[in-house]
Amino acid sequence: MQKQFDELKTRLAEINDLTAAAELLMWDEQTHMPPGGAEARGRQIGTLQRLAHEKLTDERIGHLLDDLSQTMGDLPYASDEASLLRVTRREYEQATRVPGDFVSQVAGHTSATFNVWTKARQANDFAALRPYLEKTLELSLRFAEYFPGRGEAIDPFIDQSDYGMSAATVAALIEELRAELVPLVHAIGAQPLADDQVLWRTYPEAAQLAFGEQVVRQLGYDFDRGRQDKTFHPFAARFSINDVRITTRINENFLSEGLFGTIHESGHAMYEQGVAQALEGTPLAGGTSAGVHESQSRLWENLVGRSRGFWEHFFPALQASFPAPLGDVSLDTFYRAINKVAPSLIRVEADEVTYNLHVMLRFDLERALLNGQLAIADLPAAWNARMEADLGLTPPNDRDGVLQDVHWFSGLIGGGFQGYTLGNVMSAQFFASAQAAHPEIPAQIQAGSFDTLRGWLTENIYRHGAKFTADEVVRQATGARLAIAPYMAYLHSKYDALYNL
Amino acid sequence: MQKQFDELKTRLAEINDLTAAAELLMWDEQTHMPPGGAEARGRQIGTLQRLAHEKLTDERIGHLLDDLSQTMGDLPYASDEASLLRVTRREYEQATRVPGDFVSQVAGHTSATFNVWTKARQANDFAALRPYLEKTLELSLRFAEYFPGRGEAIDPFIDQSDYGMSAATVAALIEELRAELVPLVHAIGAQPLADDQVLWRTYPEAAQLAFGEQVVRQLGYDFDRGRQDKTFHPFAARFSINDVRITTRINENFLSEGLFGTIHESGHAMYEQGVAQALEGTPLAGGTSAGVHESQSRLWENLVGRSRGFWEHFFPALQASFPAPLGDVSLDTFYRAINKVAPSLIRVEADEVTYNLHVMLRFDLERALLNGQLAIADLPAAWNARMEADLGLTPPNDRDGVLQDVHWFSGLIGGGFQGYTLGNVMSAQFFASAQAAHPEIPAQIQAGSFDTLRGWLTENIYRHGAKFTADEVVRQATGARLAIAPYMAYLHSKYDALYNL
């Protein structure tokens, strides 16, 4: 039995190494690679991913899982060993359902679609993309058919990023949340617009990078096991538990982009750095779902990084780093600026309150597409109608509307968005539980100390890696099922005061 | 036939992708990786290399080569197709001779030896390394036994890095060269020592990096298909023909290290960037041997970069970059400083004239070890005796003697050194032929123009990649066999004048 278990771990480590190498090739592509390297790099990443897929779907893995589940069936559910068998079984079954030929066909099609999108988006030309998207939808439905027995066509996609959730549970949560958010957005909209012009002054790049690094180091991001590089679209990347890197985009004319982006990515990275060392080289050595991952980036970015207490500690240092733009600015003015709420067209630029409305729109539209209730041809109109209904804005063109996000143009349609809102909702529930266990956390944040909070998150979330599903993590960490109440309570406690509601 | 050829190319591209990925992981390890990443990175590189080896030794490759050599036997020797079959056959046979278990055993032993060396070198403790080196020698002899029929035990090692050469041919060349170099070193030693103190002033790092980049860009290193990063031990790395990077080490208190190191690595990199695009993704897409590779780094570093004409063009710009240390220095003083000749203990710090004596010493000693004429226990004494004989210096300790180079402590013993001297000899022969074809080259260098020289090198050497052996490249490019006469003529024409010989 031990021998078979060791063989399984050896095989999984090999797959892990191939995947980690592909991740490094992608990180390099986005940070340092000279332009000439693009063509070969695409081929190299494809080769590594294909080999990883071949090795994961090797029938020997299936046999080992079969044998080991019989002999190791009595191990505790939460043990590393039982968790490894459980999660590997899930990944093996997901991977073996989908034929390799289909995976190649999707890769070719989405790569072509992406190339068209990069031009069509600039040209505001949805018509050019329509036939590509129709093919994408067809392929997405075929993908869903490889998983018969799931409720809706979007469910297999949700399984891949947020295992344990379903269209029904996500839609119910979204409906509940939307019913509370839309009135809040409208109430804030009836108040005078917050002034954030202090953020739009000149902030030199080197000082932004240095200040961001100082902040996330203090939060607990470990630079001995990570580093920061510049990129165009920021992301965090893990090559092992002890090498988790963040990337940042600096805008010298808008402070929030780099500053909150850095904190956001360090939240993702602290999660990955906090996984127990014993899980290294296994499928358990990473965050468990898109939602839980996003809960950590958003918790550090918003609940911590956009709180008043946080800036009571950091604002003097920020002023010292940027005397020209901030020397004459009060903490109150700055705090209001970084928490300005206003309906906007672009998801990635949206504030904390309106952000989820952008996400819900996308989830509902892709669900309708996959259920046959919406045609690709009608997608732009449906997008614009929903924007008007929820945010009171109609995009002046498709570039700032349906063409804005890369997701549908670089992969299949489905499952790419719900994690953002699940993460926002979870972030408040986790933070409330941490605070209930350690009421001193807000005072510590005011004093620039984050060890208690990070310790609670590590103990309850980070160290487990992918051992438990999102649902299990939420219940174990908070003692309750996922619920919007803590999130709405957080938003109201903050924004009712800011906007005199 | 075409179908089989395509299958072979597909398999070779996969091997190439795995190797390129391993190269990127190593480049990252030496340039950007945080310290925590080391352990997993070692495992990941090992996995990629093992998979590449497994795929190269797949018997299907042997069958394809057998079939294709029958059906494609009539193709011209110099064609891409015939060259691919020829070089792949050679690599396949080298790889299949050595059992995978042996490769793993060597990897484990050399990794342990390297760890001991890093400490023993500092502690000047040869005794601690002796048992490790004895084991290394035993493994080296076993490696040689996998290639019966070669003349000497060192020959299979020479085949791997300088295919087509042998112990006999290298030794003959070395003996001939030594007979001329030792008197030259002694003659220079009888003259007043050159003064290079201007190089030991303060040269700020950022200005060094910028100046080095400006120089190698002008030489023809393409930054759209490359980049420069800092590292501890400089190297060049290829991830594809269109992504070839250089690394540099800057010493703020000694100008030569960064400046000539950058030119040296750009020579390696221009070779790789100049390979014909049609060879991308095949075993032909790289330099053909250690010697030819070194000929290019040394040609650009020494024959171009340490020439008087080169500095007639660049010295004003260098002075402008470093007004404090160089404002009061004449071109003549600078030219003499960068060409100072003096016997020294450390190979990597040696000047152009004495450098080969360091190399020959190592080649002769490893040949003697492998031939059973020298025991590991007697290696330090043999090293010191030869240093005294050739350079008139006895190392005060083993750290600055037998323990100085990483080669014997990070791999098998054999074949790691002769390429340096072969490269030096070739560099002058290539340069003389380029100049014979284009007598305007020296004047162009004086004017800061390098296109004619680089064009000749590309046409005669770079574009062929690994299609031809070193011997073939030398004969095709120069119309003659490898000979020391051009090299000695170069050294005399330069140093006789500098030292009034």
A40 and B CB contact within 8 Å:
yes
| Domain encompassing residue A14 | 2-97
Per the structure, the count of domains in chain B is 1
Of A21, A44, A241, the CB nearest to B44: A21
User: Residue A364 and residue B18: Cα distance in Å, rounded?
Assistant: 41
| Contact of B326 with B293, CB cutoff 8 Å | no
Q: Is B188 part of a structural domain of the chain?
A: no
DSSP string of A305-331, one letter each residue? TTSHHHHHHHHHHHHHH-HHHHTT--H
Q: Is A225 part of a structural domain of the chain?
A: yes
Same domain for A85 and A201, yes or no, is no
Contacts of B141 (CB under 8 A, 6+ apart): B153, B370
Q: Is A219 part of a structural domain of the chain?
A: yes
Q: Is B314 part of a structural domain of the chain?
A: no
Cβ-based contacts of A36 with chain B (< 8 Å): 222, 224-226, 240, 242-243
Select from B29, B41, B45 the residue whose CB has the most chain A CBs within 10 Å, as the one to mutate to test that interface: B41
Cβ-based contacts of A239 with chain B (< 8 Å): 37, 40-41, 44
Residue B472: predicted pLDDT = 98
The residue among A45, A69, A97 that closes a domain is: A97
B243 and A CB contact within 8 Å:
yes
Q: Are strands B236-240 and B228-230 parallel, antiparallel or unpaired?
A: unpaired
DSSP state of B229: E
Catalytic residue, from A265, A294, A301, A352: name it.
A265
pLDDT band at B100 (very low <50, low <70, confident <90, very high): confident
| Contact of B105 with B75, CB cutoff 8 Å | no
Question: Does residue B95 have a pLDDT over 90?
Answer: yes
Same domain for A327 and A204, yes or no, is yes
Q: ∠ at Cα A236 (A233, A237), nearest 5°? A: 115
Same domain for A85 and A211, yes or no, is no
Of B24, B34, B47, the CB nearest to A24: B24
Residue A72: predicted pLDDT = 83
H or E element, residue B243 = strand B243-248
Name beta bridge partners: B244. B238
Q: Is B103 part of a structural domain of the chain?
A: no
> Which amino acid is residue B172, in one-letter code?
A
Among A324, A417, A428, A305, which residue's Cα sits nearest to residue A369? Answer: A417
Of B40, B224, B243, the CB nearest to A242: B40
Q: Is B18 part of a structural domain of the chain?
A: yes
Per-residue pLDDT of chain A (501 residues; tens, 9 = 90+): 799 999 999 999 999 999 999 999 999 999 999 999 999 999 999 999 999 999 999 999 999 999 999 888 789 999 999 999 999 999 999 999 999 889 889 988 998 999 999 999 999 999 999 999 999 999 999 999 999 998 999 999 999 999 999 999 999 999 999 999 999 999 999 999 999 999 999 999 999 999 999 999 999 999 999 999 999 999 999 999 999 999 999 999 999 999 999 999 999 999 999 999 999 999 999 999 999 999 999 999 999 999 999 999 999 999 999 999 999 999 999 999 999 999 999 999 999 999 999 999 999 999 999 999 999 999 999 999 999 999 999 999 999 999 999 999 999 999 999 999 999 999 999 999 999 999 999 999 999 999 999 999 999 999 999 999 999 999 999 999 999 999 999 999 999 999 999
Residue B71: predicted pLDDT = 86
Q: What is the pLDDT of residues B388-419, one digit of tens each?
A: 999 999 999 999 999 999 999 999 999 999 99
Asked whether the whole model's pTM tops 0.90, one would answer yes
The residue among A70, A97, A124 that closes a domain is: A97
B32 and A CB contact within 8 Å:
yes
Of B51, B239, B281, the CB nearest to A37: B239
Q: To the nearest whole number, what is the mean pLDDT of chain B?
A: 96
A253 and B CB contact within 8 Å:
no
Q: What tokens appear for B80 in the block?
A: 């891409």
Cβ-based contacts of B226 with chain A (< 8 Å): 34, 36
Residue B69 CA, chain-centre distance (Å), reads 32
Q: What is the pLDDT of residues B187-246, one digit of tens each?
A: 999 999 999 999 999 999 999 999 999 999 999 999 999 999 999 999 999 999 999 999
Edge to edge, the sheet with strand B228-230 lists B228-230, B243-248, B236-240
Q: Is B26 part of a structural domain of the chain?
A: yes
Cβ-based contacts of B32 with chain A (< 8 Å): 32, 227, 229
Of A37, A229, A240, the CB nearest to B240: A37
Residue A101: predicted pLDDT = 87
Same domain for A333 and A447, yes or no, is yes
Q: Give the residue from chain B lying closest to A17, CA to CA.
A: B44
User: Residue A141 and residue A137: Cα distance in Å, rounded?
Assistant: 6
Q: Give the residue from chain B lying closest to A37, CA to CA.
A: B243
Report in angstroms the alpha-carbon separations of B351 from A115, B298, B344, B347, B431: 52, 12, 9, 9, 19
| Contact of A351 with A341, CB cutoff 8 Å | yes
Cβ-based contacts of B240 with chain A (< 8 Å): 36-37, 39-41, 44
| Contact of B91 with B15, CB cutoff 8 Å | no
B51 and A CB contact within 8 Å:
yes
Q: What tokens appear for A297 in the block?
A: 């980036």
Q: Is A106 part of a structural domain of the chain?
A: no
Name beta bridge partners: A240. A243
User: Residue A240 and residue B36: Cα distance in Å, rounded?
Assistant: 9
Cβ-based contacts of B280 with chain A (< 8 Å): 40
Q: Give the residue from chain B lying closest to A226, CA to CA.
A: B34
Question: Does residue B73 have a pLDDT over 80?
Answer: no
Interface confidence, given as ipTM, is 0.94
Of A13, A28, A281, the CB nearest to B24: A28
Residue B324: exposure state from Cβ atoms within 10 A (0-12, 13-18, ≥19): exposed
User: Using CA atoms in the order A328, A332, A335, A336, what is the torsion angle rounded to 10 degrees?
Assistant: -100
Residue B152: predicted pLDDT = 95
B141 and A CB contact within 8 Å:
no
The residue among A97, A116, A141 that closes a domain is: A97
Contact (CB<8Å) A24/B20: no
A213 counts as catalytic:
no
Q: What is the mean pLDDT of residues B349-355?
A: 95
Same domain for A320 and A450, yes or no, is yes
Select from A11, A23, A33, A41 the residue whose CB has the most chain B CBs within 10 Å, as the one to mutate to test that interface: A41
Taking only Cα atoms into account, the Rg of chain B, rounded to an integer number of angstroms, comes to 23
Cβ-based contacts of B228 with chain A (< 8 Å): none
pLDDT band at B163 (very low <50, low <70, confident <90, very high): very high
Tell me which residue has tokens 């109150």: A332
A26 and B CB contact within 8 Å:
no
Contact (CB<8Å) A21/B17: no
Contact (CB<8Å) A21/B21: yes
First to last CA, chain A: 63
Q: What is the pLDDT of residues B254-276, one digit of tens each?
A: 999 999 999 999 999 999 999 99
User: Residue B325 and residue B342: Cα distance in Å, rounded?
Assistant: 23
Alpha-helix residue ranges (DSSP H) falling in B190-275: 205-219, 255-273
Q: What is the mean pLDDT of residues B56-72?
A: 94
Sign of the CA dihedral A333, A335, A338, A341?
negative
